[in-house]
Amino acid sequence: MNPRSFPSVEAYNAAYPDCPIPTDPATRHGLRGYQAAMSGVTDDVTGTEGSLTLDFLPGGAPGPHEGDRTGTVVATHWGDGPVLVLAERVSLRAAWRAITDQWPTRLSEVRIALTHVPS
């Protein structure tokens, strides 16, 4: 099954007001996210073109000295639509660890890693 998809950041933010993607580029680029060694994650699931980046919302993946948050993990084309929702109501710290323990380069691998994160 394909992840839930929104055509734009605005459409995603309307559906997930508690876990928004910042619309200010400087703020969004400051989020701690995952880019597969800056090359991006290849979408081998939905067929969208280009590389994807993973965002942990709200606020990015928690750093080592930050408290955990519950939120949503999404994939975007470097902050542009479509927005693919990969996990909802999960520990962002656990989701970050699941991803960085595997270092996936394909979206299918990201989805497998996230299946082990409890909601």
Phi, psi angles (nearest 5°) of residue 10: -60, -45
Q: Is the distance from CB of 34 to CB of 58 less than 8 angstroms?
A: no
pLDDT digits (tens, 9 = 90+) for 37-88: 888 999 999 887 789 999 999 999 999 999 999 999 999 998 888 999 999 9
Instruction: Determine the Cα–Cα distance for residues 73 and 97; give it in Å rounded to an integer.
Output: 12
pLDDT attached to residue 80: 87
pLDDT the model gives residue 99: 97
pLDDT over threshold 70, residue 1: no
What ranges do the domains of the chain cover?
Answer: 4-114
What pLDDT does residue 69 have? 95
Q: Are 104 and 36 in contact (CB under 8 A)?
A: yes
The per-residue pLDDT for range 6-23, each reduced to its tens digit, is 999 999 999 999 999 999
